[in-house]
Structure 1
Amino acid sequence: MAQSPREDADMGALDQVDLFAGLEPEQLAAIAGSARLRVFARGAIIVSEGDEGLGLFVVQRGALKAFVVDDSGRELTLSLLGPGEYFGELALLDAAPRSASVMALERCELLQISRAAFLAVVEQSPTLMLTLLRNLVRRVRSLTDSVRALALVDVFGRVARLFESLAVERDGHWVIERQLTQQDIANLVGSSREMVNRILRDLVIGGYVSVDHHHIVLHRKLPARW
């Protein structure tokens, strides 16, 4: 369950959000002034698929996942979200229902910007909308690449793509800092846990990766094919 909104949010987080890249300081300050800090406990559903879309959420602290569930109850994880990332951006422009659900994987602090407050800022600074649309187009192109990978790349290729996108360098090693279970990986790449298990086993045996308490370390470049 969400705690009561807090008004003492650190609005500096917005200048790290790529959706707002290129905005003038006064434009960013105006958006920040319309934001509220919301705190959610682990396991809380922030938005549900089909809900009315009322605005944008920016992650300040914590981890979340965006997901959809099909008619048979099978879940597909669309993305993992951490500080500086955001969701619900299309709700700034239209009133269509939410296209996915988002759940807190740990305690989270989110900045919420309502569509009404955002449009009020745009009225004062119309050029803001053009910058926002350019950034949204860039995001749509990235999502298109992700969909193409799901459709045209085999499961191993999707796992390799996922690992390489999540890994960060730490003390000379490439580490996936987010804890991922085999089911989490399967949900992210649109496969079964059993298939992911076989791929991980072979990567470990081949010395490409190691797994410790759901943390994955990449020791060398992953092979081009399985």
Structure 2
Amino acid sequence: MSERPSPEAAAGARRLPDDLATYPIFRGIPGPGMEVLRRCLSVVQLNAGQRLFDHGDDATSAFVVLSGRLALDLPLQGGAGRFLQVARLGPGTSVGELALVEAGPRSLRAHAVETTSLLRIDVEAFTRLKALRHPAAYQLLRNVCATTCGRLRHVNSFIESELRGERGKAMASEVAREDEATRARGFLSRLFGGR
């Protein structure tokens, strides 16, 4: 099993991308605000198989996939170290962004499927920016909330359809052939914006 990089060792010597404003998490933040946010950012490189974080770790950073792919794994109950891969995330997708809203443990494990470059948003530095009431911090939080609300709407819609039995005959016969792990993986992958 690969070791996770320490935040200090993994945080990047690489230059931050110039096109940060094109990523959904930074949508609507003007140039001067992006310059201030850059103080909270660093680049992290992972090799294939290397863990970004484990289930239960304290969330000290949020991340945006710049290149490569991350896999998100859910621990199975009574699984003694068994996990179910629930999503694969590609470029532009944020992960762990709730750490910017509220402290808490990681609910999933994340590891690189291939060589992956990530943008790390340091929670401590971001919290200091929020304390200064900087507009860029609050725009970023609005973007995180919009993403989270979209994911929650998707979950609610899925649950409602399941409870009402409104899946449609073609979908029901396809789902009936799938095992529960595959079904859950597909749903959660769509939820997290995975490809």
* TM surpasses 0.5: yes
Change (3 A) 1:84 1:5: same
Label 1:64 to 1:146 Cα distance change in 2 as closer, same or farther (>3 A). same
State the partner residue of 1:84: 92
Structure 1 residue 57 corresponds to structure 2 residue 63: yes
Shift of 1:109: 1.0
Q: Which runs of 5+ in 2 are unaligned?
A: 188-195
Aligned with residue 14 of structure 1, among 8, 12, 20? 20
1:44-86 deviation line (CA, Å, top 9, x unaligned): 1211111001011111111012221221436444432111111
User: Displacement, 1:15?
Assistant: 1.5
What is the identity percentage for the equivalent residue pairs of Structure 1 and Structure 2? 23
Q: Which runs of 5+ in 1 are unaligned?
A: 161-181, 191-226
Give the total of aligned pairs: 169
Shift of 1:184: 8.4
Letter of the 1:9 partner, please give it: R
Q: Secondary structure at the match of 2:36?
A: helix
Equivalences for residues 85-124 of structure 1 within 5 A = 85-124=93-132
Q: Which residue, 29, 40, 47 being the options, matches 1:34? A: 40
- Deviation of the 1:7 alpha carbon: 2.2
Asked whether the equivalents of residues 100 and 126 of structure 2 are also in contact (C-alpha less than 8 Å), the reply is yes
User: Contact between 1:75 and 1:187, CA under 8 Å: does it hold in 2?
Assistant: no
Greater relative contact order structure (CA < 8 Å, 6+ sep): 2
Q: 1:143 to 1:76 in 2, by over 3 A?
A: farther
Query: Which one is further off, 40-49 or 138-147?
Result: 138-147
Shift of 1:99: 1.6
CA distance in 2, matches of 1:37, 1:64: 15
- The amino acid of 1:116's aligned partner reads E
1:25 to 10, 27, 31: 31
Contact 1:11-1:32 at 8 Å conserved across structures: no
Q: Which deviations, in whole Å up to 9, do the C-alpha atoms of 1:166-210 show, x marking residues without a partner?
A: xxxxxxxxxxxxxxxx998545236xxxxxxxxxxxxxxxxxxxx
8 Å CA contact 1:65–1:102 kept in 2: the answer is yes
Residue 138 (structure 2) pairs with residue 141 (structure 1): no
1:32 to 1:126, Cα distance in 2 relative to 1, 3 A: closer
| 8 Å CA contact retained: 1:53, 1:91 | yes
The alignment's C-alpha RMSD in Å is 3.1
Query: In structure 2, how many angstroms separate the alpha carbons of the residues matched to 1:187 and 1:127?
Result: 38
2:54 aligned to 30, 45, 48, which one? 48
Normalising by structure 2, what TM-score? Answer: 0.72
Matched, 1:188 2:185: yes
Change (3 A) 1:78 1:103: same
- The structure-2 alpha-carbon separation of the partners of 1:183 and 1:38, relative to structure 1 and needing over 3 Å to count, comes to farther
Q: TM-score, normalised by structure 1?
A: 0.63
Q: Aligned-pair distance for 1:107?
A: 0.9
2:47/2:114 contact within 8 Å kept = yes
Task: Give, in whole Å, the separation in 2 of the partners of 1:129 and 1:6.
Answer: 22
- Deviation sequence 1:199-224 (CA, Å, 0-9, x none): xxxxxxxxxxxxxxxxxxxxxxxxxx
What is the one-letter code of the residue matched to 2:121?
I
The one-letter code sitting in structure 2 at the alignment partner of 1:14 is L
